[in-house]
């Protein structure tokens, strides 16, 4: 099992690194676009559609990291006041809620990806297939789902409160 946990952790690290690289690329894209727009009066075509598409990848890529460290928005005022089994139950319910939300988002993006693939929709300016960006977002969400399952299972099995699923 340890090898599986390490493999999943590696996928999570790759997902987070990919999201960070995409975010840095978007920052460069915006810089070049703004410079071109205001200095040369020639903005880059398609910048807005690239930013819109890749921001979903950044957001869902960061979701795996937030899930791993249990850094989601929670009702901490309940957790601070609870102790022992009550705290473990609240942690488990919180982890379960995160898992259900991530599963729901994954299912929604999966259906949307299939719909975009079947329709063959393209971005209006660059004519890029929309399903490609949706598929990348789906991959990052799948990693977040696996991480959410492991956080829940390890938290229930070991009573851990740090979200650490590695043995």
- pTM of the predicted structure, to 2 decimals: 0.83
| pLDDT exceeds 70 at position 38 | yes
Tell me the average pLDDT across 78-95. 81
| pLDDT exceeds 80 at position 158 | no
Band of pLDDT at residue 156, cut at 50, 70 and 90: low
| pLDDT exceeds 60 at position 157 | no
List residues bridging with 129 in a β-sheet.
Answer: 122
| pLDDT exceeds 60 at position 160 | no
The answer to whether residues 94 and 74 touch, using CB atoms and an 8 Å cutoff, is: yes
Rounded CA-CA distance 92/39 in Å is: 54
Band of pLDDT at residue 68, cut at 50, 70 and 90: confident
Q: Tell which wins on pLDDT, 36 or 166.
A: 36
The answer to whether residues 61 and 139 touch, using CB atoms and an 8 Å cutoff, is: no
Provide the Cα torsion 154, 158, 164, 165; round to 10°. Answer: -30
| pLDDT exceeds 90 at position 138 | yes
Rounded CA-CA distance 19/15 in Å is: 6
Q: Considering only the C-alpha atoms of the chain, give the largest distance between any 2 of them, rounded to a whole number of Å.
A: 64
| pLDDT exceeds 90 at position 21 | yes
DSSP E strand boundaries for 9-135: none
Domain extent listing, the chain: 2-158
């Amino acid at each position: 099992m340890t090898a599986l946990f390490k493999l999943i952790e590696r996928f999570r690290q790759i997902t987070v690194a990919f999201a960070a690289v995409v975010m840095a690329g978007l920052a460069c894209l915006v810089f070049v676009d703004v410079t071109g727009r205001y200095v040369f009066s020639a903005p880059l075509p398609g910048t807005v559609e690239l930013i819109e598409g890749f921001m979903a990848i950044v957001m869902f890529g960061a979701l795996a990291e937030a899930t791993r460290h249990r850094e989601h928005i929670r009702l901490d005022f309940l957790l601070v006041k609870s102790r022992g089994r009550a705290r473990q139950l609240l942690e488990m319910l919180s982890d379960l809620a995160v898992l259900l939300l991530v599963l729901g988002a994954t299912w929604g993006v999966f259906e949307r990806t299939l719909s975009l693939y079947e329709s063959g929709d393209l971005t209006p300016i660059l004519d890029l297939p929309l399903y490609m960006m949706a598929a990348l977002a789906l991959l990052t969400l799948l990693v977040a789902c696996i991480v959410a399952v492991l956080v829940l299972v390890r938290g229930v099995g070991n009573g851990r409160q740090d979200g650490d699923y590695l043995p």
